[in-house]
Structure 1
Amino acid sequence: MLRGKVVMITGAAHGIGASMARLLHKRGARLVLIDVDEHGLRTLAGELGDDVVVCVCADVNDFDAMRAAAETAVDRFGAIDVVVANAGIEHWAPVQTVEPAAFRRVIETNLIGVFHTVRAALPSIIDQRGYVLIVASASSYTAVPGMAAYGASKAGVEQFANVLRIEVAHHGVGVGSAHMSLVDTPMLRETQSSSAEFTMLLAALPGPLRRTVTADKCAVRLVDAIEHRKRRVDVPRWVAAARWLKPALSTPFAERTLSRQMARIEVT
């Protein structure tokens, strides 16, 4: 049951985070919503419209800010029962041309930002015998050209979740990782609009990998994962097969189509 539980969500102003916040609110959870977009947070809080929502404008790259956000949650609600490390960014560019600063920014936000989020909330989570949900990606299992930083960060947070799960199991804390294919979010639409090459690569993917799911459908699965303290959640469900087939997906045969598409992109 989620009624009365305190759930802290990063990247909460838009996309999956906002959809989760709406659904959790309907189920009676108390929310601590964190994002760098203060206007987006205030808009969402106004929509939810009651006193069981706390908004904190903070950057997951700043550990002190995340620790202050966790302290705000505990001061307001007494504890944190669930933390959802959802904030993330992506950037399309091949390794040979990506700006080092852009590569670093993706790694720091998606990987170090997850650590900051979890580390800040963990003392209260342990006290509550609570639950940690780390939002990874199908990119934890698959490789898409031009997405080296994103793929590395999402593979990294999957392993972070695996390690954390072992470390905190004796405290009664559950840890889950979420792995989604393409989700129709502002982040995905921005990457598509800013990179014709990314769109070309998506067109070369097999049918299921090209299809998007809505943020609302994704949120339903993730909130269910919280309620049942799942170790993993895959959206759509076929993404689970990619985890088991990961070695096969990195064979020359499996990589051939994307490799050929990348060659075409380089000459356009």
Structure 2
Amino acid sequence: MQNIENKVAYITGASKGIGLGIAEALVRSGVKVAISGRDTNALEKARQTLGNQNVLVIESDVRNFNDELKAVQQIVSEFGKLDIVIANAGVGKFASIDEMSLEDWNAMIDTNLTGAFHTLKATCEHLKANKGYYISIASLAGTNFFAKGAAYNASKFGLVGFTQAAMLDLRDYDVKCTTIMPGSVSTNFNGHTPNEDDEWKIQPSDIGQMVVGLLKMNPNVLPSKIEVRPTKTK
């Protein structure tokens, strides 16, 4: 088991949901964590949840590469290094292809796919220097297409392919890359408010536990793609 205490992690889209669940798990494991997002109020609430010690909050839009560069500069200035990157920022808007707006298409591709590229591009040299770990949070929608999901499917299929190719590009630098593909998760995704009817779903804390497990795994082992589902349907 790898010791991850005092490692430094950056998590995008971490003001709530899966990102916050991962942040909570890492903080409990002794990792110094930087979280980013676009909603300053939500980020402040997340800071209160996580506590102020070894937590850095950054306002950043992953669609803007310069935002991600500035975020990395803040992290290294605060913590001195960067070891772990979790590309979690994502949006979902669902409509048939004939009704899908250009704005919604671009929002999903620019956030879910290009945003993940921006995050890795901005952090890549730090990960190489520290033999780090890059994890993208994709979806089962990255392998299973469905009606009214053309844009979301395209972004998540692309994210899975991007992360797997990045894994091949970076493995010789001892940088690990994994994509996690969850099914139904109890989050605020797409305007949903988690409630007691979501108990059957994967919980954000479950994904957090999975990420900690990956980080602690033997350096010689790389689960490059993980599909995870609720044990039962509703």
Tell me if TM exceeds 0.5. Answer: yes
Does 1 or 2 have the higher relative contact order (CA < 8 Å, sep 6+)?
Answer: 2
Is 1:215 the counterpart of 2:215 in the alignment? no
Q: Report if the CA contact (8 A) 1:10-1:86 is conserved.
A: yes
For the 8 Å contact 2:26–2:208, the answer to whether it is kept is no
- Summarize the alignment of residues 20-59 of structure 1 with structure 2, pairs less than 5 Å apart: 20-59=22-61
Tell me the TM-score normalized by structure 1: 0.78
Matched-pair contact (CA < 8 Å) for 2:22–2:211: yes
What's the counterpart of residue 228 of structure 2?
235
- Report the secondary structure of 1:87's partner residue: coil
Deviation track 1:124-161 (CA, whole Å, cap 9, x = no partner) reads 11100100001111011101111111111111011111
Larger radius of gyration: 1
Cα distance, 1:16 vs. partner? 0.3
Alignment equivalent of 2:147, drawn from 132, 145, 151: 145
CA contact (8 A) 2:201 2:230 kept: no
Structure 1 contact 139–154 (Cα < 8 Å) conserved: yes
With 162-171 and 183-192 compared, the bigger mean Cα shift is at 183-192
Contact 2:184-2:230 at 8 Å conserved across structures? no
Separation in 1, partners of 2:230, 2:128:
30
* Map of 1:80 onto structure 2: 82
Q: State the one-letter code of the partner of 1:22.
A: E
| Residue number in structure 1 paired with 2:159 | 157
| Aligned residues of 2:40 and 2:59 also touching (Cα < 8 A) | yes
Residues 243-267 of structure 1 show CA distances to partners (whole Å, capped at 9, x for unaligned) of xxxxxxxxxxxxxxxxxxxxxxxxx
Shift of 1:190: 3.3
Name the counterpart of 1:180.
182
Residue type at the aligned position of 2:134: V
For structure 2, the 5+ residue unaligned runs are 195-199
User: Residues 199-218 of structure 1: CA distance to partner in whole angstroms, max 9, x if unpaired?
Assistant: xxxxxxxxxxxx63222222
Q: Which amino acid in the other structure matches residue 233 of structure 1?
A: I
Aligned: 1:69 with 2:71 = yes
| AA partner of residue 212 (structure 1) | K
Q: Which of the two has greater helix per residue?
A: 1
What are the ranges of 5 or more consecutive residues in structure 1 without an aligned counterpart? 193-210, 239-268
Which residue is 2:12 aligned to?
10
1-side partners of 2:102 and 2:208: how far apart? 33
Consecutive aligned runs of 4 or more in structure 1 exceeding 4 Å deviation: none
Alpha carbons of structure 1 residues 189 and 139: separation in structure 2 relative to 1, 3 Å: same
- Structure 2 distance, partners of 1:188, 1:217, is 20
Distance 1:157 1:26 in 2: 28
State which of 161, 169, 172 in structure 1 corresponds to 2:171.
169
In the TM superposition, what whole-angstrom CA distance separates every residue of 1:85-138 from its partner, at most 9, and x where no partner exists?
000000010001111111111111100000011111111111001000011110
In the alignment, residue 98 of structure 2 is paired with which amino acid?
Q
Secondary structure (helix, strand or coil) at the match of 2:53 reads: coil
Deviation at residue 188 of structure 1 after TM alignment: 4.4
Letter in 2 for 1:230: P
Q: Distance in 2 between matches of 1:89 and 1:131?
A: 23
Whether the 8 Å contact between 2:35 and 2:56 is mirrored in structure 1 is: yes
SS of 2:25's equivalent? helix
Q: CA deviation at 1:191?
A: 9.8
Aligned equivalent of 2:133:
131
Quick check: 1:221–1:235 contact (8 Å CA) kept in 2?
no
Partner of 2:215: 226
- 8 Å contact from structure 1 (residues 90, 191) kept in 2: no
Secondary structure of the residue aligned to 1:2 is coil
Work out whether residues 202 and 230 of structure 2, in 8 Å CA contact, stay in contact via their aligned partners in 1.
no
